[in-house]
Amino acid sequence: MSKILVVDDEVWACDPIKRFLEKKGYDVTVAHSGEDALEKVKNEKPDLMLLDIRMPGMDGMEALRRIREFDKDVGIIMVTAVKDEGMAKDAIKKGADEYVTKPIDLNHLETTVLVDLTMRRK
């Protein structure tokens, strides 16, 4: 079973994604800050993360940079409420695999997660 870490400072935003992915058979953990995400990546070794870009304190871009310093293998899908092509390209240049925009279309998310996890297994 693949492990997914959902990172978003908005607690209400995590729950529907967590429930949806668990129904699809994934083992899902949640973090509500960039700092918490770093610890969970180190300790729980998820296969994939959904990482919100805009968070107070350590934002998603800084968390991405720090995670890539010690873990090159975890899949990272950036999540943003702002359709900013420049930021998305920057995130991918810094090591993200993909990005999705809020509000999240759960069917698109499922496809994105499946593609990312399939590519990692090759």
Each residue's pLDDT tens digit, 36-71 = 999 999 999 999 999 999 999 999 999 999 999 999
Instruction: Domain of residue 45: give its range.
Output: 3-121
The pLDDT score that the predictor gives to residue 89 is 82
Percent above pLDDT 90 for the chain:
78
Query: Do 48 and 74 meet the contact criterion of CB atoms below 8 Å apart?
Result: yes
Instruction: Provide the domain count of the chain.
Output: 1
Question: What CATH number is attached to the domain comprising 11?
Answer: 3.40.50.2300
Residues 6+ apart with CB under 8 A from 59: 34, 53
CA 82/CA 31 separation, integer angstroms: 21
Taking every pair of C-alpha atoms in the chain, what is the biggest distance, in angstroms?
Answer: 36
pTM score of the predicted model: 0.94
| Tokens matching residue 1 | 């079973």
Residue 122 pLDDT class (50, 70, 90 cuts): low
The pLDDT score that the predictor gives to residue 5 is 98
Phi and psi at 79, nearest 5°, equal: -120, 130
Residue 82 pLDDT class (50, 70, 90 cuts): confident
Using CB atoms within 10 Å of the CB of residue 54, give its burial: 0 to 12 exposed, 13 to 18 middle, 19+ buried.
middle
Query: C-alpha angle with apex 46: 87 to 70, nearest 5 degrees?
Result: 65
